[in-house]
């Protein structure tokens, strides 16, 4: 699936991923390929990205690398998934 993470300052990531987990206001949830369409508010927490991804040098410091992928700390935001495209608007 295609993931795009956008902040007020810049696009932090755009590319193909295997999965993404986000801190929803009603609890953390994960999306894989062919997930049902969804729109949700996000709360403070970590966006977890799994896949063979490459980060741009200018935003790499915002992410934390783990054994299973990358994490991005957010304060809040929204997420939309439709037709295997996920857009995260992060604060």
pLDDT (tens digit per residue) in 1-58:
999 999 999 999 999 999 999 999 999 999 999 999 999 999 999 999 999 998 999 9
Rounded (10°) CA dihedral 49, 55, 59, 63: 30
For residue 38, give the nearest of 90, 86, 91 by alpha carbon: 86
Q: What separation in angstroms does the CA of 29 have from each of 8, 11, 35, 52?
A: 23, 22, 11, 20
The range of the structural domain enclosing residue 75 comes to: 2-90
Chain center to CA of 41:
13
**How many domains is the chain partitioned into structurally?**
1
CATH code of residue 59: 2.60.15.10
- Its pTM stands at 0.94
57 bridge partner residues: none
């Amino acid at each position: 699936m295609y993931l795009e993470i956008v902040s007020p300052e810049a696009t932090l990531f755009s590319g193909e991923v295997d999965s993404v987990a986000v801190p929803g206001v009603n609890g953390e949830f994960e999306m894989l390929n062919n997930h049902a369409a969804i729109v949700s508010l996000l709360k403070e927490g970590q966006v977890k990205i799994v896949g063979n991804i490459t980060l741009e040098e200018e935003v790499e410091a915002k992410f934390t690398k783990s054994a299973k992928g990358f994490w991005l700390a957010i304060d809040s935001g929204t997420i939309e998934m439709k037709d295997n495209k996920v857009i995260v608007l992060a604060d």
